[in-house]
Amino acid sequence: MNYKKIDGLIAAPFTPFDETGELNLDIIPAYYQLLKTNRVKGAFICGSTGEGVSLTFAEKVEVLKAWRTITKEDPDFALIMFLGGTNIKECKELAKISEEVGADAISFTSPFYFKPADVVQLAKCCKEIAAVAPRTAFYYYHIPVLTGGNYSMYDLLQEIDGKIPTFSGIKYTHEDFMDFLSCMNYQNGKYNMLWGRDENMLSSLVLGCKGAVGSTYNYAAPLYHDLIQAYQQGDLDKANVLQQKSIDMIRLLGKYGGIATGKAYMKLVEMDCGEFRLPVSNMSSDSFEKFKQDVASLGFENFKSTLNVCV
């Protein structure tokens, strides 16, 4: 079974909450339009950035249906649903619903409490989940920094090749370029390898990567389009400068408390997604004012996502 490979920038959207911490799905049409206007090719929903582990099962379904309602008439926009990783039974139920509503792909990551002993066990998990959605592309989500599942993805491909008809590729959020390149070259590029480290995009381009999933593409997609264009034109000096700008931007996430800082960036592109749920800490109002000053010093206005760009 052949599935269309996903190229370009894929955003990992933040799940929007209101002031009480409940879902605020009314802003998803505007969110989708922001991504489309900035030439983002898809959305990887309910993942790390989307706080999938902090959502109830019912909330995940609501988020999925809200995104699918707005994207179903757009064949050029890929909607990838993250199923989770710890509860295999729940992942299967969500996979079935994802196929029923017409998601373009589903994704699963390593169980992170009871961890698979090896890639053989991990492949068994993938096979069981993929089997219940036989018409939907399946992607493994490799993010060992959060799951502790530090498996060789090349070994995983060897284990699943020919055994899971819908297996389409890997969202690769790790820094092992040797493993990543081996996966890209596996069976003459059979599988779609999506890079997942925004701060290392340039390195992935050198290896021939064509698609990437990341959180900063929500609010700074123009920066990465310029980076890709500079690389393609052979202007490595400019590409280097733009990648450093990305790194400087991402460093502010660490300075102001981590992943929740992404929602602060979203406020600066006029897309208020509320705050992160516990146990993640959120920025204080005083810190937000300092954050805005730091962001301004980066020249954020020159490369931020906006609904006013020309495409």
Catalytic residue among 31, 139, 140, 141: 141
Q: How far apart are CA 203 and CA 130, in angstroms?
A: 31
Distances (CA, A) of 89 to 77, 86, 135, 144, 289: 29, 9, 19, 22, 44
Q: How far apart are CA 101 and CA 133, in angstroms?
A: 11
Contact 184, 177 (CB under 8 A): no
Active site residue 172: no
Active site residue 141: yes
Q: How far apart are CA 70 and CA 141, in angstroms?
A: 24
Catalytic residue among 171, 245, 263, 304: 171
The SS3 call for residue 24 is coil
| Torsion sign across C-alpha atoms 226, 228, 234, 239 | positive
Q: How far apart are CA 196 and CA 107, in angstroms?
A: 13
What positions carry a catalytic annotation? 141, 171
